[in-house]
Amino acid sequence: MPVAPQVHKIDQNYFILCSNTLEIKGKLIGELSVAHDITREQTMFMAMVQSSSVASLLVIMIISGAIAFYISRSLRPLRQVSRMTEVISVSDLGKAQLYFQNAPSEVKELAQTCNQMLMRLSESWEKERQFVSNISHELRTPLTIVHGYLQSVLRRRQNLTETQIEGLETAALEAENTIQMLEDLLELARADSGYLHYKMQPCVLNDLVAEIVGMANQHSDRQIVIQAEANPIEVKLDYQYMKQILLNLIDNAVKYSDDGTPITLKLKQQGTQAIMQVCDRGYGIPLQQQSRVFERFYRVDEARNRAGGTGLGLSIVKTLVEGMGGNITVRSKLEEGSVFQVVFPVFS
Ligand code: ADP
């Protein structure tokens, strides 16, 4: 019975063994088996298989490392693009440029396209800003004239009926609100284009707060209380703009709270920070809308805002505070009240 060649391991040695029948002239005369010792060849073969698998593993590891390094090196500029685009704001759209020296050509092309897009965005933002500024300017003059006429007609009210007086008063109020909105828009446009100049000078906040609260108390029958530390707190800022900021916050506190509820202006120093808080016990602002009240034209609840207002006051306040190196935040609870906090570094 023929046996195909097979390798057998006997003790520590390897043999190749095969056998076949032996026939001479068609006559079966026996069986021939051959065994050959291949221990040396087999050991060499196994050593070769082992070393080539180690070598292939090493080659695979080196190639994978090289690919990972190449991919991370190619993606580095993209990470840079994402970091840069994260910090680009409306004000520096025109100046923002992405530039890569050692990047693949595809990434350089992407950066170029991004730069062109930033340029187009900057141009259209500039056009929009210019348009708002022109419109506000063009509308303010005729509206001021209309408002003047309405006021002079209202002064001669003895010739008018009750209904006419009511209509004229509504028209005059709406004209006044619109003029205020146009002035706010002009101020924001000036701030956006960097035309607001802050006359920064050291001033004692305690005096400024006392003066503003005095002014506010004269114009409204709501009592505003000051809670301030005795030691004077000195801060470097523009006196007029700071007045505008506090008057705006006090005006809001009066508008968005019921008559008879207290309004407090707190002033304190914490380390190197001067902290001013305008606190009311009014309607409050829902948590999810608190970060949005500083956006342009954002108003929390139209029904509550019938008192008048444009939704621009707080965005002007924020622009002015940040323009003078401070920051403003709000903490509020619905139906309990709000605290608008303005912080400036103390002048030393
Ligand atoms: P407005 O001209 O409407 O007062 P602002 O920019 O000053 O515009 O305020 C934006 C919105 O934030 C207001 O419409 C109001 O809903 C809300 N808000 C501002 N201040 C207060 C406050 N002290 N209490 C409750 N809500 C406020």
Q: Is the pLDDT at 152 greater than 90, yes or no?
A: yes
Q: Give the pLDDT band (50/70/90) at residue 176.
A: very high
Q: Which of 187, 265, 293 to mutate to test the pocket of ligand 1 (most atoms within 8 A of CB)?
A: 293
pLDDT band at 307 (very low <50, low <70, confident <90, very high): low
46 CA distance to ligand 1 centroid (A)?
83
Mean pLDDT, residues 18-37 taken together = 89
Q: What is the mean pLDDT of residues 32-47?
A: 93
Within 10 Å of residue 328's Cβ, how many Cβ atoms?
19
Identify whether the C-beta of residue 282 lies closer than 8 Å to the C-beta of residue 297. Answer: no
CA of 320 to the centre of ligand 1 (A): 17
Query: With a threshold of 0.85, does the pTM exceed it?
Result: no
Q: What is the DSSP letter of 347?
A: P
Question: With a 6 A CB cut-off, is 326 part of the ligand 1 pocket?
Answer: no
Residue whose Cα lies nearest atom 16 of ligand 1: it is 300
Closest CA to 270 of 310, 241, 300, 229: 229
Query: Ligand 1: which atom is nearest the Cα of residue 253?
Result: 23
> For 261, which DSSP code?
S
- Shortest CA distance to 333 belongs to which of 284, 299, 297? 284
Identify the residue whose C-alpha is closest to ligand 1 atom 8. Answer: 311
Task: Write the DSSP string, 183-244.
Answer: HHHHHHHHHHTT------EEEEHHHHHHHHHHHHHHH-SS-EEEEE-SS--EEEE-HHHHHH
Is residue 306 very low, low, confident or very high in pLDDT (cuts 50, 70, 90)? low
Torsion of CA 140, 145, 149, 155, to 10 degrees: 70
* pLDDT confidence band for 94 (50 / 70 / 90): confident
Ligand 1 atom with minimal separation from the 283 CA: 25
Q: Is the pLDDT of residue 145 over 90?
A: yes
Report whether residue 294 contacts ligand 1, using a CB cutoff of 6 Å: no
- Angle at CA of residue 37, ends 32 and 40, nearest 5°: 155
According to DSSP, the β-strands at 224-228 and 263-270 are: parallel
Whether the CA torsion 236, 241, 247, 250 is positive or negative: it is negative
Q: Is 278 in the pocket of ligand 1 (CB under 6 A)?
A: no
What number of other Cβ atoms are within 10 A of residue 319's Cβ? Answer: 21
Atom of ligand 1 nearest to the CA of 312: 6
Q: What distance in Å separates the CA atoms of residue 18 and residue 287, rounded to the nearest whole number?
A: 89
- Give 346's DSSP letter: B
Q: At what angle do helices 239-255 and 205-219 cross, to 10 degrees?
A: 40
Which pLDDT score is estimated for 252? 93
In which band, very low, low, confident or very high, does the pLDDT at 192 lie, cut at 50, 70 and 90? confident
- Is residue 338 lining ligand 1, measured as CB closer than 6 Å? yes
Q: Give the residue, 108 or 251, on which the prediction is more confident.
A: 251
Quick one: pLDDT at residue 43?
93
Q: Whose CA is nearest to atom 19 of ligand 1?
A: 252
DSSP 92: G
Q: What are phi and psi of 5, to 5 degrees?
A: -60, 130
- Is residue 302 within 8 A of residue 275, CB to CB? The reply is no
Least Cα distance to 115 among 83, 76, 84 occurs for 84
Give CA–CA dist 228/211, Å, rounded: 13
Model confidence at 304: pLDDT above 80 = no
**Cα–Cα distance, 155 to 158 (Å, whole number):** 8
Q: For residue 301, which amino acid is it?
A: D
Q: Give just the sign of the alpha carbon dihedral 68, 74, 76, 79.
A: negative
Nearest-CA residue for atom 21 of ligand 1: 252
Q: What's the confidence (pLDDT) of residue 301?
A: 76
Helices (H), the chain: 39-87, 105-155, 162-192, 205-219, 239-255, 313-323
Q: Which of 314, 318, 319 to mutate to test the pocket of ligand 1 (most atoms within 8 A of CB)?
A: 314
The residue count for the chain: 348
Ligand 1 atom with the shortest distance to the CA of 301 = 16
Over 90: is that where the pLDDT of 82 sits? no
